[in-house]
Chains A and B, each alone.
Chain A
Amino acid sequence: MADPSNPPRTSLTTSTYGDQRTIRANKSILERSLNKTRGAEVSLNAQSYMFSEMLQYAQKRVNGIQDLEKRMNEFGYRVGTRLLELLSWREKVPKRETRVLGVLYFIHSVVWKALFNKQADSLEKSTENDDEYMISDNEPLLTRYISVPKELSQLNCNAYVAGIVEAVLDGCQFPARVTAHTVPIDGFPQRTTILIKLEKEVLQREELLK
Chain B
Amino acid sequence: MSVYYFAIVGATDNPIYEADITPSSRSSTLIDISRRDDHKHLNQFITHAALDVVEEIQWTSQAMYLKSIDRFNEFFVSSFVTAGNVKLMLLHDQKSEDSIKNFFNEIYELYIKILMNPFYEKNFPITSQQFDVRVKAVARRFL
List A residues at the B interface (Cβ < 8 Å): 28-30, 32, 34, 78, 81-82, 84-86, 88-89, 94-98, 102, 171-173, 205, 209
Q: Interface SS of chain A: helix, strand, loop or mixed?
A: helix
Q: In the assembled complex, how far is the CB of residue B128 from the closest CB belonging to chain A, in whole angstroms?
A: 8
- Residues on A with C-beta less than 8 A from B112 are 34, 85-86, 89
A-B contact pairs, 7 of them (CB 8 A): A30-B114, A34-B112, A85-B112, A96-B62, A96-B82, A97-B83, A172-B83
| A84/B110 in contact, CB under 8 A | no
User: Interface size bucket, B side?
Assistant: 20 to 34
Which residue of A86, A97, A102, A173 is within 8 Å of B116 (Cβ)? A86
Q: In the assembled complex, how far is the CB of residue A148 from the closest CB belonging to chain B, in whole angstroms?
A: 28
Determine if B44 is an interface residue (Cβ-Cβ < 8 Å).
Answer: no
Q: Rank and list the top 6 A-B pairs by shortest CB-CB distance, nearest first.
A: A88-B83, A171-B84, A95-B62, A85-B84, A81-B122, A28-B130
Query: How far is B118's CA from A97's CA once the two chains are assembled, in angstroms?
Result: 25
Question: With A81-B84, A171-B83, A171-B85 known to touch, is A209 a contact of B113 (CB < 8 Å)?
Answer: no
Which residue of B108, B116, B134 is within 8 Å of A82 (Cβ)? B116
- Residues on B with C-beta less than 8 A from A86 are 112, 116
Determine if B11 is an interface residue (Cβ-Cβ < 8 Å).
Answer: yes
Determine if B45 is an interface residue (Cβ-Cβ < 8 Å).
Answer: no
- Residues on A with C-beta less than 8 A from B110 are 30
Which residue of B82, B128, B131 is within 8 Å of A85 (Cβ)? B82
| B59/A171 in contact, CB under 8 A | no
Counting chain A CB atoms within 10 Å of each CB, the highest count among B62, B84, B110, B122 belongs to: B84
Which residue of B63, B83, B117 is within 8 Å of A29 (Cβ)? B117
Query: How far is B83's CA from A86's CA once the two chains are assembled, in angstroms?
Result: 9
| B58/A96 in contact, CB under 8 A | yes
Q: In the assembled complex, how far is the CB of residue B87 from the closest CB belonging to chain A, in whole angstroms?
A: 11
- Residues on B with C-beta less than 8 A from A94 are 64, 83
| B109/A173 in contact, CB under 8 A | no
Query: How far is B112's CA from A144's CA once the two chains are assembled, in angstroms?
Result: 31
Q: Residue-by-residue, is B106-130 near A (CB-CB < 8 Å gives 1, otherwise 0)?
A: 0011111111111000100000101
